[in-house]
Amino acid sequence: MVTLTHIGSVPSEVRNAFLFFSVLEFAVGILVNAFIFLVNFRDLVRRQPLSHCDLVLLSLSLTRLVLHGLLLLKAIQLTHFQRLKDPLSFSYQTIIVLWMIVNQAGLWFATCLSLLYCSKIVRFSHAFLLRAASWISRKIPQMLLSSVVLSCVCTLLCLWDFFSGSHFSVVTRLLTNNSTELNLNIAKLGFFHSFLFCSLASIPSFSLFLVSSGVLVFSLGRHVRMMRAKTGGSRDPSLEAHTRALRSLVSFFCLYVLSLCAALFSMPLLTLWHSKAGVMVCVGIMAACPSGHAVILISGNAKLRRAVDTILLWAQSSLRVRVDHKTDPRMSGLC
């Protein structure tokens, strides 16, 4: 008789600690991404003109908000609803596939941001590249709309592949006389196929992101060589623009690859090695990456930095008024 290997149980202290940190990551992620979204959405409501960079950040922050919601659902699923005999439950698979789809949409928006930086900062000498850069800088809203359409197409394809695989698994289970081990292997195979299909759909956007970021790196190297050939130590605005753009793009690249590797690594941890604690670590990494990149985006954007300074000044003045109110004897006598 074939025995079923259970997922390694996790102590309640570990589960509670993981859930606490998941809620904390969710709160931080919602805070920073909602801040980016609301600052730009406020200008949109007031009918103030939004720059192309603001439009990209608005779209990117919206996808990050959905990502954090899905990751919190995944954490709750792991800690409270994950059954030992069914590690790949339908609800868990659905959360993972939706995360892949939303993450792919965020990658398209990050690619638009990289192309925008490339068209605005890099100084091209070839006529074709000049026209291409000018076209990209003018067509960012259309590119964002195209990214949404492509994400929707990829969503339909991924969902079709996922649900057709689930239907195939159900039919196969009925034909195999409910063999437990065989049913689990069929479910794993179908889910891995859907997961790989969604991952491969990110190749075009990731390739564009790498090419545009590489052009920025090359342009920065050329600019630094030109500056070294000149005398004087004055600050160069072009060099600062290069540095800020590359900081946000390189950080996105590193955090995206780290998040994707954590998602890929969580699959064998759950289905082959049956380590729920390892999956929890991977989910924590996946949740920390979007929050970290949002903080870097805020620090590199002048408009968002001004909004942060305004909030801090308001909080400082409010705190000072409260302290003065408590320390003033005339005020305390009135209470």
Band of pLDDT at residue 298, cut at 50, 70 and 90: very high
Residues 247-269 as b or e (16 or more Cβ within 10 Å = b)? ebbebbbebbeebbebbeebbeb
**Entry pTM:** 0.86
Q: Are 290 and 67 in contact (CB under 8 A)?
A: yes
- Read off the pLDDT of each residue in 30-51 and give the average, rounded to a whole number: 93
Q: Is 83 helix (H, G, I), strand (E, B) or coil?
A: strand
111-129: b (≥16 Cβ within 10 Å) or e:
bbbbbbbbbebbebeeeee
Partners of 83 in the β-ladder: 86
Fold of 13-165+180-302: Rhopdopsin 7-helix transmembrane proteins (1.20.1070)
Instruction: List the one residue out of 65, 71, 73 whose CA is nearest residue 31.
Output: 65
Q: In the predicted model, what is the mean pLDDT of the chain?
A: 82
Burial of 66 (0-12, 13-18, 19+ CB in 10 A): middle
How confident is the model over 286-296, as a mean pLDDT? 94
Rounded-to-integer distance, Cα 79 and Cα 106, Å = 27
What is the rounded end-to-end Cα distance, in angstroms, of the chain? 79
Could you read off the pLDDT of 159-180 as tens digits, one per residue? 777 667 554 444 444 445 555 5
* Distance, CA of 189 to CA of 240 (rounded, Å): 49
Inter-CA distances, 223 with 121, 216, 251, Å: 11, 10, 21
Is pLDDT at 112 greater than 90 in this prediction?
A: yes
Q: How far apart are CA 138 and CA 131, in angstroms?
A: 11
Dihedrals phi, psi of 83, to nearest 5 degrees = -90, 145
| Alpha carbon distance 273, 78 (integer Å) | 16
The answer, yes or no, to whether residue 304 has pLDDT greater than 80, is yes
Angle value at C-alpha 235, between 230 and 241, nearest 5 degrees = 105
**pLDDT tens across 141-162, in order?**
999 999 888 888 877 777 777 6
E-only strand ranges, the chain:
none
Per residue in 193-252, pLDDT (tens digit) is 777 777 788 889 999 999 999 999 898 888 778 877 775 555 677 778 888 888 999 999
